[in-house]
């Protein structure tokens, strides 16, 4: 009887720890979990079973690795929030699959993404013909963001600056140069790229958000 009570108590403790961990992960849908989140979640689940079921393992020894994994996840996530290059290294980058109506086969091979995958996701969006698509981007989550050629109500835009970093590949897509971007931003009073949190360009107009100087996250 006492062994059952111990298992129940361990279950409650581990449940609270895991619940707190997922609370710190933020409000993400399952499909939006990063590779880091998935790896840490799987390892925590395995360690949680050991901590609950194995009476020979003390509670402290059982939850210590869980706390270590939580610390690693929080540390790496915080670093990725502050540094886009590090975020790209950990989570990968969105990849252009269809560009100006043309399939980018090289990117598909790099991502091990086949034509059946593309056609399946197009059908899910109600698109039966690739010729209807202007741009398609494979997101970090594995979903495909699709922009139709005839859809002018929500025109396709690419971020030119993210977290103070110029997106050179996006400049190539819109056939602009880094020098052009710096010149245009200077005209609008932006001398330091590192101070810009987000910048996009559409039909001669810039949309710019400066970095929050408080550096706080609610």
pLDDT tens sequence across 143-168: 899 988 865 455 667 789 988 889 99
Q: How many CA atoms lie within 13 A of 9 on its CB side?
A: 9
Crossing angle of helices 59-82 and 35-53, rounded to 10°: 170
Whether 102 and 82 map to the same domain: the answer is no
Residues 65-88 have a mean pLDDT of: 84
Percent of the chain with pLDDT over 90: 12
Asked if residue 78 and residue 41 are part of one domain, the reply reads: yes
The verdict on 83 and 29 lying in the same domain is yes
Does the structure show a pLDDT above 50 at 189? yes
Asked if residue 49 and residue 7 are part of one domain, the reply reads yes
Residue 199 burial (CB count, 10 A): 22
Same domain, 114 and 79: no
Average pLDDT, the chain: 82
- Do 125 and 185 have their domain in common? no
196: part of which helix (H) or strand (E)? strand 196-202
Average pLDDT of the segment spanning 55-78: 85
Q: Is residue 215 part of a domain?
A: no
pLDDT (mean) for 66-87: 84
pLDDT greater at residue 129 or residue 51: 51
Rounded to whole angstroms, the maximal C-alpha distance in the chain is 76
Shared-domain flag, residues 46 and 108: no
pLDDT at 218 over 80: no
Residue 95 is given by DSSP the state E
- Judge whether 153 lies within some domain: no
Q: How many domains does the chain have?
A: 3
pLDDT at 108 over 60: yes
**Domain, as residue range, for 128:** 93-148
Let me know if residue 106 belongs to a domain.
yes
Dihedral sign (CA 151, 157, 158, 162) = negative
């Amino acid at each position: 009887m006492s062994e059952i009570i111990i298992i129940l108590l361990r279950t409650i403790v581990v449940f609270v720890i895991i619940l707190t961990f997922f609370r710190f992960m933020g409000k993400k849908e399952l499909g939006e979990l990063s590779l880091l989140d998935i790896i840490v979640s799987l390892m925590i689940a395995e360690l949680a079973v050991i901590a609950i079921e194995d009476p020979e393992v003390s509670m402290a020894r059982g939850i210590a690795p869980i706390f270590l994994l939580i610390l690693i996840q929080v540390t790496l996530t915080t670093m990725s929030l502050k540094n886009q290059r590090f975020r790209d290294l950990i989570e990968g980058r969105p990849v252009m699959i269809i560009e100006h109506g043309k399939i980018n086969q090289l990117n598909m091979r790099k991502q091990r993404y086949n034509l059946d995958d593309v056609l399946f996701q197009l059908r899910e969006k109600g698109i039966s013909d690739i010729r209807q698509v202007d741009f398609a981007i494979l997101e970090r989550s594995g979903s495909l963001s699709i922009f139709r050629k005839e859809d002018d109500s929500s025109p396709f835009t690419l971020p030119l600056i993210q977290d103070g970093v110029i997106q050179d590949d996006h400049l190539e897509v819109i056939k602009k140069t880094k020098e052009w971007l710096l010149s245009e931003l200077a005209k609008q009073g932006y001398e330091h790229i590192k101070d810009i949190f987000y910048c996009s360009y559409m039909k001669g107009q810039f949309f710019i958000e400066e970095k929050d100087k408080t550096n706080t996250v609610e």
